[in-house]
Amino acid sequence: MLSANQVESFYRDGYLLIENGVSDADLQPVINEYNRVVDDLARDLKKKGKIECCHEAEGFETRLARLCADDEATYRDADQLMDINKVIGKSTFEFLRNDNLLDLVEGILGPEITCSPIQHVRCKLPSSLWDGASSYTAPWHQDAQVHTEEADDCFILTVWIPLVDTDERNGCLEIIPEVHRTEKVLWSEGFGISEENMPARKSLSLPMTKGDVLFLHKLTPHGSGPNGAEEIRWSLDLRYQITGSPSGRPWYPDFIARSRSNPSSELKDSSEWQAKWKQAVKNPQKELIRKMTQRDRPNTPVKQIIRL
């Protein structure tokens, strides 16, 4: 659980870095699952004649990068190929409801916790590959900018967890603390925050160790630069919220991860979660998606009260 000082720090600064928040034992099943996904990808690419070598001797941090170096199409599609809603793996589902993680989340949200469908596995590829430093970067943005209007005033907690050690060399997260206090969404045309709307505050780089857990307020600007290392910067980018509040992605499935008042409401069956994702991806609700991606966005900051 979080201490009172940690909770105070989160609300004061707009972020909280929890060292060793989850253990290697918590993360290893997810890593093993993605090793299998990459292995299956390699074998499929070789079978199709797109690569000559499966790079079986490479490890978690390098193998996908070697495949991407050999096949440009894989490089361009890697983010989607590795994402949670593509893989929908059992071990990933089990981690989303991991007790050690939810104990931390409960310190902010309380005991009724829903896992948002806004969730990703990120594979930040080395900038030495095809497109160089311009690829696999994250521009400055707020997570309040990526959901539909129904969730605008809802508190959604971003949880970012590195699966490898991260630093400035491989593109660790950068944030701008305390901006959430202005209660403004820094809208710009298109995704992210335009240069003219960037807060006049100093940014902060956040090197992290595998298993550290970062909490972000959805109004906290953040981003990351290129990966100048030869290894992949793997990470989990998750969201949690109070049960009963809208996710801002209603066409994708959320689920109750923890309920102290009604434990039987918790989703514990990974196959049910997988089936819901397969159905959602197969039959996307295009009108709802268009509402988020094509709505008229202001190009200046907008006051937005967030309810916890």
pLDDT tens for 82-91 read 999 999 999 9
- pLDDT tens-place string over residues 242-253: 999 999 999 999
Nearest CA-CA partner of 184 in 303, 12, 15: 303
Query: Looking at the domain assignment, is residue 30 inside a domain?
Result: no
Q: What is the mean pLDDT of residues 288-300?
A: 60
- pLDDT tens-place string over residues 161-197: 999 999 999 999 999 999 999 999 998 877 889 899 9
How far is it, in rounded angstroms, from Cα 162 to Cα 49? 33
The end-to-end CA distance of the chain, in Å, is 18
Q: What angle do CA 257, 263, 266 make, to 5 degrees?
A: 35
- What is the number of domains present in the chain? 1
Which residues span the domain enclosing 293? 4-19+88-303
DSSP code of 80? H
Query: Looking at the domain assignment, is residue 58 inside a domain?
Result: no
Q: What is the mean pLDDT of residues 284-291?
A: 60
Query: Looking at the domain assignment, is residue 51 inside a domain?
Result: no
**Mean pLDDT for the chain overall:** 94
Place of tokens 């007790």: 99
Query: Looking at the domain assignment, is residue 255 inside a domain?
Result: yes
Query: Looking at the domain assignment, is residue 48 inside a domain?
Result: no
Question: What's the confidence (pLDDT) of residue 294?
Answer: 44
Q: What is the mean pLDDT of residues 108-129?
A: 98
Reported pTM: 0.95
290 pLDDT above the threshold of 70: no
Residues in Cβ contact with 25 at an 8 Å cutoff, skipping those fewer than 6 apart: none
- pLDDT tens-place string over residues 120-148: 999 999 999 998 888 899 999 999 999 98
CATH code where residue 226 lies: 2.60.120.620
Query: Looking at the domain assignment, is residue 80 inside a domain?
Result: no
Nearest CA-CA partner of 118 in 261, 246, 214: 246
Query: Looking at the domain assignment, is residue 64 inside a domain?
Result: no
Query: Looking at the domain assignment, is residue 26 inside a domain?
Result: no
- pLDDT tens-place string over residues 26-60: 999 999 999 999 999 999 999 999 999 999 999 99
